A and B are shown apart, each in its own frame.
Chain A
Amino acid sequence: MPVNPEIQGRQYPPTPPYLVGREKVREFARAVQAEHPLHHDVDAARAAGHADVIAPPTFPIVIQQLTWNQLLDDPAAGIVLERIVHGDQRFTATRAIVAGDELTGQLTVTRVRSLGGNDMVTCETRVTDASGEHVVTATSSLVVAGEAA
């Protein structure tokens, strides 16, 4: 089944709040070989004016994945995980994510187009904090392979 072109413009409900844990930040930082003290050392982060350790720039993918799951779970969308190739990715931040943040993601499908037997789905996840303020927007293009591929 190809990707349903009618999902263009569709917005999914905001995800339940995700509490960013200090050890999760450290674990994610180790996984991407991020050694800067602001990711690991609470005192260093506080001295730099942050409430706690701050997450690496690609950490919002954790929230974005929760919103991708909504898209994959939507039978009307026609998107199957095994057929997806990540085309491109962007993070546009208002501020860094800090341990203790409660984050919510809301996904909008901004574009669906056919491309030589494949479908290209562009989606945008807007991540906001507990007070509703913008933290970061994660934008992705996902290439969904056609049946014959």
Chain B
Amino acid sequence: MSALSGLEVGHVVAERDVVLSRESLVRYAGASGDFNPIHYRDDVAAAVGLPGVLAHGMLTMGIAVQPVVDWAGPDRILDYQVRFTRPVVVDPETGAALHVAAKVGQLGEGTARIDLTVTSAEQTMLGKAQVVVKTDG
């Protein structure tokens, strides 16, 4: 019997609210080795014409998949892709609130494609955010 059985297209498998703070960005910079200053310095962000300090796209991508990881298990993630459609501006005091919803998009042979919707203040931050998970074995 399949470990993740009985899935139906359209079914929401996981949902989560996340808050990113400036501390989250500094922590991610150190962990990942991406020290681009637009992710921690307001003056640099302003100088290159950004609306504020931005979250690393890879941080948003990394966090957005976590509801699926917790649901399926981290060793069942076969493929994960996103398009960075809108930058996540992180306010120094209030941070940035993200909502992630993970829904079954398509069922395959021993796999399922889970589609992520990542929103902040009603706007979609990632496009074509899709995770392929192994459902058998």
Contacts and interface: CB of A to CB of B under 8 A. Distances in A.
State the majority secondary structure of interface residues on A: mixed
B46 interface: no
Contact of A54 (B75, B78, B83, B131): B75
Interface size grouping (class) on chain A? 20 to 34
B81 A36 contact: no
A57 B77 contact: yes
Contacts of B77: 57, 93, 96
B69 to A, nearest CB: 6
A32 B63 contact: yes
A28 B48 CA distance: 28
Nearest to A24: B31
A92 interface: yes
A58 B62 contact: yes
Interface of B: 18, 24, 27-28, 30-34, 36, 48, 57-59, 61-63, 65-66, 69-70, 73-75, 77-84, 128, 131
